[in-house]
Each structure stands twice: as C-alpha cells, then as structure tokens.
Amino acid sequence: MNKPRIAFLGLGIMGSGMARRILGAGFPLTAFNRNPEKSALLASAGAAAASSPRQAAAQADIIVSMVADDQAARAVWLGGDGALAGAAPGSLCIESSTVSPGWVRELSAAAAARGCDLLDAPVTGSRVHAASGELRFLVGGTAASLDRARPVLSAMGKTITPLGPTGSGSLVKLINNFVCGVQVAALAEALAMIERSGLDTAAALEVLTQGAPGSPLVRTISARMTASDYTPNFFLKLMAKDLSYAIQEGRGLSVELATAAAALGDFQNAIAAGLGDNDMSAVAEPLRRR
C-alpha cells in the first residue's frame, strides 16, 4: 500500500530529527520551516521544501507540527498561509509541540471546521531521542485517529501512550515538564550550595545522583552543569515557557504549583542573564555567580 504523504512544520532541535526519521521510513515528506535553510538541508536528503505551511499541507494526508509555543503553532496552522488553509478535508492534523491545552482545543475546533481530525501528540525525550527514533508520544484524541497516525508516530518514537480525549496529551506533557523543571532548578541550587561550602563537589554529587534523588534526568543534567557544557538539547527559554503554561493550567484547576513557580524564578533569572538559548542546565550559572 502507498504510504500517506506527510507535511512537517518546524525543523528545530527536535523537529529536524523527527522529520528525518519520517523520511528515512519511506514516507513522502514535504517540510516547512521559517528559516528556509533548514528546509533546504532536508530537501537535500529527499524531502520537498515548501515556502509556506499552506503549501506544505496542500498535498498531505497527515500534517505534523513541532514548534516552540502557542504563538508559533497558531502561526503555522491558522491564517491565509497556515496549514489548515491548504489542508484537504479528511486530513489528519498532529500537534506535537508542547503547547497549552487551551490552544489544542482551539486548534481542534478549527480543524473540525475544515473537516479534519486532530491528535495532540507531544513528546518526551531530547534531541538525541528525536534523531534515534526513541521518543515517547503522549496522545490525546480518538482511537481511530491514533490508529491512522500510528505508523508515522512509530517511525519517530518507540512508545505511544494514549491518555484520553483531545488535550490530554498536552496536559500530561506540561505536568511532566514542570516536574522536570523543578528537578533541574533544585539541582542547580544544590550545586551552588555544594560549591560555595567547599565540599568535594564530585563526592557530594555522587551522593545525589546515585542516591534517592538520582533520576536519569538529574544524572544527565548534573554532568552538564559540572562540565559547564550548555550545548542546547532542550532550550532553557522553552523550559521557562513550559513552567509558565503549567502554572496557568494548574490555576484553572485550582491547584497552585508553588514548586513550579519557584523553579520558574530560577529560569527567568537565567534568561535575564542572557542564557535563554542555552541548554536548560545553564540555569545553574546565575546561582553560581552570586
């Protein structure tokens, strides 16, 4: 059987790896990115490059978005040059960006008005996982839409977790990321305390990373912080965005995310210090400099 034609919108740290996995699995692929140089790189590997989201979606059966935030997602989906303007009725829309459930509901209504179905399917994992096809998809939407999307999602990830109706995937992703952000901020504060106290840094961090606090994330981020290697795997500014969205969503549920708010303060301080485009582990630097 012929494989569905895919449009992919957004070729950043995560999207570029995901799009290459789709292409490598033999799906016909058209890609759009605001910076056309990234689309041209993918075109050299066999994809088609589109000049707008609308053009990318015009010949697609399945449209996937992987962009930074609500604002960027709204720009690629809606408006005269947006993907929905070019989407044929019956197309499947997949929002894999980490966005607010409110935006997912808005997009779902807009897709339905166009005669299209929507899955929200954000991912957990890093740039390395995106490139190697080891992402985990957190999916909200109907079983029928997921069945249709499964071959494409399986090309990009190793785990697909259905979580309920539309918006469920995005909500769980925000909860996941706020817990991660709290861990990263707590580790940054702990490292500053260790370094200023004169403790043996390596020995103290071994207690943390190999003991009860030692999640895979803590171990990975600890290595980056101690090496001061802030090559972006997950942009610091995007963690601040995710914490903000989670706090907003929590308030709508009458849950005050006090730990998320404290962590957000650390990330905002790092952004003010000019570190927003670094890896999220750079949140440690302003604490170390005080």
- Supply the residues annotated as catalytic: 173
Find how far residue 124's CA is from the centre of its chain.
7
Pairing of strands 62-65, 92-95: parallel
Show the tokens assigned to 150: 């499964």
Distance separating alpha carbons of residues 289 and 192, to the nearest angstrom: 9
